[in-house]
Structure 1
Amino acid sequence: MRRTIWLSISYLLLILIALYVLYPALWVILASFRPGTALFSDQLVPTRFTLIHYRELFEMFPFARWYVSTLKIAIVSMVFSTLLVLLTGYAFSRFKFNGKKKLMSGLFVLGMFPSFMSMIAVYILLLNMNLLNKHSALMLVYSAGAAMGYLLVKGYFDTIPKSLEEAARIDGASHWTIFFRIFLPLSRPLIVFLSVTSFAGAFNDFIFAQMVLRTNEQKTLAVGLYNMVSGQFATQFTIFAAGCVLIALPITVLFMIFQRFLVEGLTAGADKG
């Protein structure tokens, strides 16, 4: 009886949490189909649906260009950041060198600080390198900072038996061959987790993109949509809602497709540290 009561309470709490999380998202989705320009309404479901806000999103703003630019930045950053963090984790897992523990501790401590603390230093570096208002600046920073998450990769690589590596080395395999032919095929859940999270991070980033990108044509989706409604007399809130829906689509699809791999990858490095 007590177990049934606790189980019922748990389900009730989960339902309430789900409603609390889903209600704002549902409101934005329905607002994108509501006539007018205001997000506020007396009722959740609009009395009349319209697609005009999605059309105006592309007619009044360079939304298609923002979308292509954001996808380009996110995909390139995903590829390089995933490769860099995998290589860093492999080096710490399989190589022995002087200062290894101190370097790992230093990277761990640096990873505890929020990334925006280094924004001024990064801005000055990009200014001196003449990379401001360029997408390559975002790709460079997103990819370079990914190696800080090496600990999860190292923990996963530590679980791979060294006998596989030793057998390959007897056959004459190099470190590159071992990494690409043995470690990567055995790390599919981890690779999917790293790829999806790095893609989502670059796709949704606002703070750094707002600092680097200047012209309207170079903006990403997050920066463009923010500037759309940040003006003192801005009224395009339903168009903003339509943009939010289109932004959420690729991330939602990715998480739905790779949900199983994401759960496996999230716990992949928990066996050993």
Structure 2
Amino acid sequence: MDALSKTPKTSSKLSSKSKRNLKKALTYLLLIVVCVIIIYPLLWTIGASFNPGNSLVSTSLIPENPTTEHYTQLFAGEGNLHYKQWYLNSLKISIFTMIFSLISVSFTAYAFSRFRFKGKKNGLMLFMLLQMIPQFSALTAIFVLGQMLGLINSHWLLILIYVGGQIPMNAYLLKGYMDSIPMDLDESARIDGASRTRIFFQIILPLSRPMLAVVAMNGFTGPLGDFALSSVILREPEAYTLPIGLYKLVSDKMGASYTTFAAGAILISIPIVIAFLSLQKHFVSGLAAGGTKG
């Protein structure tokens, strides 16, 4: 009787264990599929960048006769291929956009998080509405404004537009993060004689480091991948950014170089990877600081 009474419990334990194993197997299978979807195009592009000739057609991920001639052509500066200048232009625009975005978004989010003023709720709603408007819908207005100001073919006009586009959503996100920082810290600091400015720089910003890293990453990577806006503003080959310059490599039907395009596209990812690795520690240190001081 005892053996018979234990049998249903044992079978139920086995069934629950098998269900957990099945869920775990399905989870790993899904992760593997997602990784293949993400990694395969990257590996294929890397292989194409070492493939001889100008065609991307290849029977395998690893070229039979790999060559680095396409990377050499990028930096040789032959003809209208000013890849080094395009690279520097993109880095310049991305770095300044990141810096100015951090400054403007930080002050804006702090004002909405810690101050009470008329129109605060409507201002936040306006931020969300502005974020919903597609950027390309204002291209004509931006072009006309650039002509009026004499800033067509200017990187600074692009930087100002990128910074303005970064403010609504990033300020909304950072404001929400600052709201989670206890007001008791501000009150304690004010009792000790700290000013609003000191509280902002020495308390709020250090505790907001994880979200500031997100804002910095968005500000840096956004210009690197933008084509529509930069193609309207920039007209001279020497002023091109990487997306425009690489597009020119494949837009010429008679002399399109797709393998050189692949090599240039791979090199774009280098500053993005460096930026991510540099900012990754701020996520961890910012969260640790928040847990300690909270």
TM-score (norm 2): 0.85
Of residues 223, 228, 247, the one that matches 2:249 is: 228
Unpaired segments of 5 or more residues in structure 1?
266-273
Which residue is 1:158 aligned to? 179
> Is residue 141 from structure 1 mapped to residue 158 from structure 2 by the alignment?
no
Task: Give the alignment of 1:62-211 within 5 angstroms.
Answer: 62-149=82-169, 150-211=171-232
Of residues 248, 252, 255, the one that matches 2:276 is: 255
Higher relative contact order (CA 8 A, sep 6+): 1
Residue 217 of structure 1: SS of its match in structure 2?
A: helix
Of residues 20, 32, 53, the one that matches 1:15 is: 32
Question: What RMSD, in angstroms, separates the aligned Cα atoms of the two structures?
Answer: 1.9
Which residue is 2:290 aligned to? none
Read off the aligned partner of 1:33 and give its amino acid letter.
F
Post-superposition CA distance 1:74-118 (Å, at most 9, x none): 000100011111111111111111121112112212212222222
Once structures 1 and 2 are overlaid, which stretch shifts more, 218-227 or 229-238?
A: 229-238
Q: Give percent identity, aligned residues only.
A: 42
Residue 239 of structure 2: SS of its match in structure 1?
A: coil
TM-score (norm 1): 0.92
Of residues 218, 238, 246, the one that matches 1:217 is: 238
Read off the aligned partner of 1:194 and give its amino acid letter.
V
Read off the aligned partner of 1:206 and give its amino acid letter.
F
Which residue is 2:267 aligned to? 246
Q: State the alpha-carbon separation in 1 of the partners of residues 94 and 186 from structure 2.
A: 33
Post-superposition CA distance 1:149-196 (Å, at most 9, x none): 211111111111212212322344332222112111111111111101
CA separation of 1:206 and 1:35: change in aligned 2, threshold 3 A? same
Unpaired segments of 5 or more residues in structure 2?
1-17, 287-294
Q: How many residues align?
A: 266
> Is residue 32 from structure 1 mapped to residue 53 from structure 2 by the alignment?
no
Read off the aligned partner of 1:244 and give its amino acid letter.
A
Q: State the alpha-carbon separation in 1 of the partners of residues 278 and 93 from structure 2.
A: 21
Residue 168 of structure 2: SS of its match in structure 1?
A: helix
